Amino acid sequence: MNIILDFLPFALFFIMLGVGMSVSIKNIIDVFKDLKVLCIGLFLQMLILPTIGFLFAIVAPVDIIFKLGIILIASVPSAVTSNYITKLVDGNIALSVSLTAITTFFSFITIPFVLIFVAPILINEATVFQELNFVKISLFVLSMATLPVLIGIFIKTKFSIFAEKIKKFYSFFSLLLFFIIIFTAWFSEWNFILSLYKTIGLFVALLLILIFITAYTLTNLFNLSEVNKKTIIIESLIQNAAVAIVVGSVAFGNESGYLAVAALYALLQYKFLIFIWATNKLYKKFILS
């Protein structure tokens, strides 16, 4: 299992490279033309979600390491799967990919900041944080997440024909790697996950519900189009558990309970989206028809 976990940073690099290759500089410039929509998406992902995660960690009656897992999963960028889901529901794909790329780009600052400066406010055990180094974690996230996104954007912009030719294969393979990371966490922490269903499963479900309500309310408050509304809600809900697992592994080791929290959130976030999708379909069929 340790061999698999040691391989995960390279898998994450490959996945983030694919995120970059799915968006060109022109796509990002086009998204920046509607700053209101972009800022709402970034505000939710980079400020509201970590705040919600921090508040949930305060009230959750669980061990410290699980509190840390909650904070970490709420602080990572949106996942590559959000782009696929956005495409399936006819959302704004350019906006989705741009939000994923931008939040991933800044993660080398946001994630270390949360772990080293914010988390200790809640978690008072010095032994958990005494070996953490902002520069070390920042450089790791920079090399495993931010840098490959930039390389991918460069490839997409300068070698667009090549990027288009390998797009289908690369998308499939990067998605496969993403789920390998998640399944690895499920397998290695399965006992934790089962116990977490009884302890913080309800809190994670409530976290998802609160994120959904917040994103839904904010997008309606600013009167966004249906396409942009769906995109931002999906981006807010789908957190990159792979980043949480890999970064947490580097910072705290492979045997920490944060793996179970990330894996549990990854499992529930897709179940929650399926529930929302099914509810919406039934509502349109039986209530509006």
Identify the band that residue 284 occupies on the pLDDT scale cut at 50, 70 and 90: low
Q: Are 206 and 265 in contact (CB under 8 A)?
A: no
Instruction: Check whether 37 has a pLDDT greater than 60.
Output: yes
Tell me the C-alpha distance between 99 and 60, whole Å.
29
Express as a percent the part of the chain with pLDDT over 70. Answer: 84
pLDDT > 50? residue 134 = yes
Angle separating helix axes 241-252 and 64-73, nearest 10 degrees: 140
Tokens of 287: 């209530």
* Domain ranges across the chain: 2-287
pLDDT tens digits, 212-246: 999 999 999 998 998 999 999 999 998 887 788 77
More confident: 142 or 231: 231
pLDDT of residue 254: 60
Tell me which of 6 and 51 has the higher pLDDT. 51
pLDDT at 58: 84
DSSP letter at 192 equals H
Please give the Cα distance from 84 to 152 (Å, whole number): 17
Judged against a pLDDT cut of 80, whether residue 179 lies above it is answered with no
pLDDT of residue 86: 83
Task: Kindly state the DSSP code that residue 24 receives in the 8-state scheme.
Answer: -
Query: Which CATH topology does 2-287 take?
Result: Na+/H+ antiporter like fold (1.20.1530)
